Structure 1
């Protein structure tokens, strides 16, 4: 069975970048904790972060890299 490749919207991408910027080096662990506890809704971009989790799943953080802003 083949699955369609799901990509992030520009808004979702921006929400992840903003979260990573504000939470520093361990941002993935922080986001995973928020997702696990349901506290992601309290974040400024909470609905978008929840969309990422619901669309791609928590395991997507393992492969995700913040885009290089210098390109």
Structure 2
């Protein structure tokens, strides 16, 4: 997680999230304990990497406006 944050790598962040969810759902890892190891700033940075970048959000809005959604 920290590596993805340090690199600001959205792709790796999404991959880590998928593995993280799988491990926690299968009870191989404790989500709360792992999340608590990150600082509040790291948590915010990680979460911000999960949302689409502004250019993608703007592009999506243009498409929605064009098709009337």
> Is this a same-fold pair by TM over 0.5?
no
Q: TM-score range by the shorter chain?
A: 0.3 to 0.5
Structure whose CA Rg is larger: 2
TM-score (norm 1): 0.33
TM-score (norm 2): 0.34
